[in-house]
Chain A
Amino acid sequence: MELLYAACVGLLVFCGVFLILRSRTFPVVLGLTMLSYAVNLFLFASGRLSLNSAVILGESTKYADPLPQAFVLTAIVIGFAMTAFVVILSIRGRADLGNDHVNGHVPENIKKGRV
């Protein structure tokens, strides 16, 4: 199970980084979202994986590590705020610059239709 979990984290990092390296804003935003999933899962896993042991006192005999959970909880919310900010920034960028290229302008060879 640990291997599978780590593989999922690795895959999410792969997908996130690949999308972040794209040239238009929307895929970059998706990539950031994906990367923040990966980061949250990674941080969460630093408390190790445990089944049926939610940290509600009196509900079970062993408890998972609550500290990474608390950190990841706020990380999720802040991650949302950051995603929202980047999304709005990309809308603003498109409105001000007339295109949604991350560099602010579409390269010449692409404008001419050559790839």
Chain B
Amino acid sequence: MTLLWIPLLSLLGSIISSMTGKLSRNQSTTLSLIMPIIALFMCVNMAPAVFAGEEIRETISWLPLLGINIAFRLDGLALLFVFMILAIGILVIFYARYYLSKNDSMPKLYSYLMLFMTAMLGIVMSNNVIQLWFFWELTSISSFLLISYWWYKSEARKGALMALTITGGGGLALLAGLLILGNIVGSYNLDIILASKEVIQASQWYEVSLILILLGAFTKSAQFPFHFWLPHAMAAPTPVSAYLHSATMVKAGIFLLARFYPVLAGTDLWFFIVSITGLTTLLFGAYVALFKHDLKGLLAYSTISHLGLITLLFGLNTDLATVAAIFHIINHATFKASLFMATGIIDHETGTRDMRKINGMWKFMPYTATLAMVAAASMAGVPLLNGFLSKEMFFAETLHQQLLGSLSWVIPVLATVAAAFSVAYSARFIHDVFFNGDPIDLPKQPHEPPRYMRVPIEILVALCLIVGIFPNFVVDDILVSASHAVLGGYVPEFKVALWHGFNLPLLMSAFAVMGGILIYTQRRYLFLFQASLPTVNAKKSFDNAIYVLIKWSQQKINAIENGSLQRYLMLMFLVVLLAAGWPLFEMNKLVGAKELTPIGLHNALGAALLMIGAISTVIWYRTRMVSLLMISVVGLMVSVAFTRFSAPDLALTQLTVEVVTIVLLMLALFFLPQHSPRESSSMRILRDLGISSALGIVIGSICYAIITRPFESISDFFVANSKTGGGGTNVVNVILVDFRGFDTLGEICVLGIAALGIYKLLGNLPLFMPGSDSEGRPWAKERYPVLLASISQSLLPLALLVSFYIFLRGHNLPGGGFIAGLITAIAFILQYIAHGSNWIAVRLTINYRKIIGSGLAIALFTGIGSWFFDKPFMTTWFDYFDIPFIGEIELASALLFDLGVYITVVGATLMILASLGELTANTPKEEVNI
């Protein structure tokens, strides 16, 4: 379980630090540091095993059927990244303590930072590609939160949005790529994917998957042409830039290249795309960095350039290049993070980051200046520093590739040019900031920062020196084990050393240094040339692109979604018509093999009544009362049909529902116009007649085709087991409350939800109450007819008795909770109709919401009850008891469940009708027109 704890601890740290708002800044920092430090120790503990070649794995089964498990693994590559993420994270947290001003919320920054840390740890340790993608998106989200930390600044919000759009879009491409990859291999497990190189590269989907995955990697690692979000992300607080935008998040794309190197690399397509992209980014970033006046802007473009360098190394097609790439990942993280922190100090102490103003800082902060100069020298690739070593390896590898055929010599030349620019901007960073005369118009008087603010930089710069001078002692182990993981088990012989003798790479370094200094001294001409070029404003173009996209989609949406329900319905019916009608054309014969039964007089009569009712409803649909009466005929005939075709339960249900529905519709008619105006054009009527008759024909034909075909049913099981397994002879009821009781539980929940929805819809209703009927006749003075009142009152106990009887016998004879509930509800509704709700309210105070709730609770707890007998949810129980005077009776837990159904149905039905009916009771009649 130790592996799982590493991201968990960091997540825990995020939660803890979010709660430190009341504590002092030192306490908050200390508490926040605890969890990552523990995680780092655990990691150090596991390191020897990993160095020895072991791969630690942990898997928790989650959705095994979909191949989605929570799976972690720690190999050399993952370990390297975990070290970087945790160690630099700890330094950044410590640094941020001094960087943030008193007005900035420290818990907010810390909890976001550690959320991000969790996400990064998740990416590098995932052993399941879907899980990897999940953490990948989590880094995009947490980076969005971190960039927009100073949310009140417009540039922070815009930068955050831009970063989220680009990296999030890339994340979607990555997901698609990973899904394709998983589909090719047949598993989302990384171990299996990494072992399936031949299968993947032989697949026709390889190119698509490769390009999609590379899109994800390149957007995240700010490769040209997706680089532009990174400079805008510099609106984040500097600790965030140091952590996310130099050391970790932008390396996630590089990590992805390294992770999938064993299976995706090796083809021409990979090397072509990766090397060209890397080379372009390397040159472009190095060139642009020179012209940035903003310190962080310079560092951002330098980061882009160095990321391009690493990408290029992965595209160089040699094993040693891969080793160099991994080495440069470590080196870049150390010198760039320390440079960002130094920039933070300068910004903090001078109040600006503009290099045209910041000059001569050597006099004010010599100590910080020394640290920054060492780090910048490492960035430039000066000997004795770690940046030099990996740059030498890079130069050596550019000489060994054959990517461009006879033009391959161009790559080392361009690499030297890029390195020269890198020297030039490093020189500018050192010379402009720390020397070059006196500061101009600084908002603050600069001085050395607080003592401890420098500690993280000291540690990182010390690392630059130690790695630079004694590389073998420090990085050999981790470099070998990480390369082992990337190259798939084979590590080439290599020797990281300060001195390789006089050779071509050394010459290239010398050229680069001299060229860089030349460029810097002659920079005035370059700046003039650059100023004469047309400027490209990335933010503006991005905003425009987004605007055009949104406008375009809005137009398309408006074209489809014009707000007309009639149109949506028409389109929907047309789709149904096509989907349901198409198979009929492919069928040879509509009528099936089943023996047909003769029509008979009763059936013909019933069908005729139903048809007359239905057609009359349509003919008189504008006179609403008439059509309501006609549709009730149809409903009655439907329940007669159920009786006829051996479904007594259905007939009873249909009959009672019919009563309730008609009462409800009549009540509704009171609030709605009595007539529909004539407004459909003849063309519209013709069109609708066409659609509806076509649908009628298709559905009727399908129905005919079904019922004339013999069939096998699973129902024999229910018939055979109803009595022995469920203890009842009414199979339909036993299915409802026993075999498929879980369905029924869901259905009464729907009923309850609908009733609650209606209750809310009727709240605060600006009521429209007609003072007379549609012909202008006033309503009858006698609101509640005496005859109905007295009869209904005497009917109530009888009706309740009937419903009780129907309920009890339901298990064995037609009846049950649904029907009994509806009968009870109708008995009460009759009281409402006869007396009005005020009369009821005095005599009966019922909260229908509570009734629905208790009904659902009874049903649910009956189901849960079976857990106490170690049975699965909703297992029923029944037995027979001999009770004196009454005789043998059967008691079943299903009866209790049916009681829950009964109560819910009563509550829901009454709530629907009573809440609507109540509206008519109290409101004074007023003349209100539409």
Inter-subunit contact B713/A81 (CB<8 Å): no
> Closest CB-CB distance, B803 to chain A, in whole Å?
15
Known: A6-B700, A52-B646, A73-B653. A1 touches B715 (CB 8 A): no
With A and B bound together, what is the CA distance between A81 and B743 in angstroms?
Answer: 16
Contact with B along A72-109 (1 / 0, CB 8 A): 11101111111111011111101110111011100100
If A21-B691, A34-B631, A41-B641 touch, does A77 touch B657 (CB 8 Å cutoff)? yes
Question: What separation, in Å, do the CA atoms of A61 and B722 have in the docked complex?
Answer: 16
The interface residues of chain B lying within 8 Å CB-to-CB of A83 are 661, 664
B338 to chain A, nearest CB (A): 62
Contacts of B672 in A (CB 8 A): 25-26, 90-91, 94, 100
Cβ of B747 under 8 Å from chain A: yes
Known contacts A12-B634, A18-B618, A27-B627; A69 and B650 CB within 8 A of each other? yes
Residue pair A85, B732 in contact (C-beta under 8 Å)? no
Contact across chains for B700 and A9 when beta carbons are under 8 A apart = yes
Partner of B754, one of A47, A52, A81: A81
| Nearest chain A CB to B25 CB, angstrom units | 53
Binds A, one of B253-261, B558-566, B773-781: B558-566
Write out the residue numbers on chain B whose beta carbons fall within 8 Å of the beta carbon of A50: 645-646
Q: In the docked arrangement, what's the CA distance between A54 and B643, Å?
A: 9
Give residues 542-579 of B contacting A (CB, 8 Å).
563-566, 569-570, 573
Chain A contacts with B in 1-40, Cβ cutoff 8 A = 1-27, 29-30, 33-34, 37-38, 40
A22 touches B676 (CB 8 A): yes
Q: Type the 1/0 row for B645-675, where 1 means its CB is closer than 8 Å to any CB of A.
A: 1111110011001001100110011011100
A4 touches B607 (CB 8 A): yes
- Within 624-645 of B, Cβ neighbours of A (below 8 Å) are at 624, 627-628, 631, 634-635, 638, 641-642, 644-645
Interface residues of A, dominant DSSP = helix
Across the interface, do B650 and A72 meet the contact criterion of CB distance under 8 Å?
yes
Whether the pair A74, B668 counts as a contact (CB closer than 8 A) is no
Give the one of B664, B672, B707, B743 with max A CB within 10 A: B707
Q: A47-B715, A92-B762 are in contact. Are A70 and B735 (CB under 8 A)?
A: yes
User: Within A49-78, which residues are at the interface with B (CB < 8 Å)?
Assistant: 49-59, 63-67, 69-70, 72-74, 76-78
Residues of A within 8 A of B647 (CB): 44, 54, 64, 69, 72
| A65, B715: Cβ atoms closer than 8 Å | yes
A38 to B714, CA, bound (A): 24
Chain B residues 716-750 with CB under 8 Å of chain A are 718-719, 722-723, 729-732, 735-736, 740, 743-744, 747, 750
Task: Say whether, besides A56-B814, A77-B751, A49 and B676 are in contact (CB < 8 Å).
Answer: no
Judge whether B751 and A37 touch: CB under 8 Å.
no
CB-contacts of B17-40 with A (<8 A): none
CA distance A30 to B648 in the complex (A): 25
Contact B597 A85 (CB under 8 A): no
Residue of A nearest to B747 (CB): A74
The answer for the CA separation of A37 and B638 in the assembled complex, in Å, is 7
Q: Is B732 a contact of A73 with CB atoms below 8 Å? A: yes
Nearest CB of B to A65, in Å? 5
> What residues of B have a CB within 8 angstroms of the CB of A65 in the complex?
713, 715
Inter-chain residue pair count (beta carbon < 8 A) = 313
Q: Which of B344-352, B608-616, B864-872 contacts A (4 or more CB under 8 A)?
A: B608-616
Q: How far is the CA of A74 from the CA of B732 in the complex (A)?
A: 11
> Looking at the complex, which of B71-79, B478-486, B764-772 is the stretch in contact with chain A?
B764-772
CB atoms of A55 and B761 under 8 A apart: no
Cβ of A67 to closest chain B Cβ, rounded Å: 5
Which of B631, B669, B671, B696 contacts A14, CB < 8 Å?
A: B696
Distance in angstroms from A63 CB to nearest chain B CB is 5
Contact assessment for B708 and A2 in the assembled complex, using a CB-CB cutoff below 8 Å? yes
| Cβ contact within 8 Å between A77 and B706 | no
Q: Is A84 touching B711 in the complex (CB atoms < 8 A)? A: no
On chain B, the residues within 8 Å of A77 by CB distance are 653, 657, 747, 751, 818, 822, 905
Q: Which residue of the partner chain, among B564, B665, B747, B768, contacts A94 with CB atoms under 8 Å?
A: B768
Distance A78 CA – B397 CA, assembled complex (angstroms): 72
Given A2-B596, A51-B645, A65-B713, the answer on whether A102 and B654 have CB atoms closer than 8 Å is: no
Q: 11 extra interchain contacts, Cβ-Cβ under 8 A, other than A30-B617, A110-B679?
A: A4-B603, A17-B692, A21-B566, A26-B668, A46-B706, A55-B732, A56-B730, A73-B650, A80-B660, A83-B664, A95-B768
Q: Which A residues fall within an 8 A CB radius of B?
A: 1-27, 29-30, 33-34, 37-38, 40-42, 44-59, 63-67, 69-70, 72-74, 76-85, 87-92, 94-96, 98-100, 102-104, 107, 110, 115
Please list the residues of chain B having a beta carbon within 8 angstroms of any beta carbon in chain A.
563-566, 569-570, 573, 594, 596-600, 603-604, 607, 610-611, 614-615, 617-618, 621-622, 624, 627-628, 631, 634-635, 638, 641-642, 644-650, 653-654, 657, 660-661, 664-665, 668-669, 671-673, 676-681, 688-689, 691-693, 695-697, 699-701, 703-704, 706-708, 711, 713-715, 718-719, 722-723, 729-732, 735-736, 740, 743-744, 747, 750-751, 754-755, 757-758, 761-762, 765-768, 812-814, 818, 822, 905, 908-909, 912, 916, 930
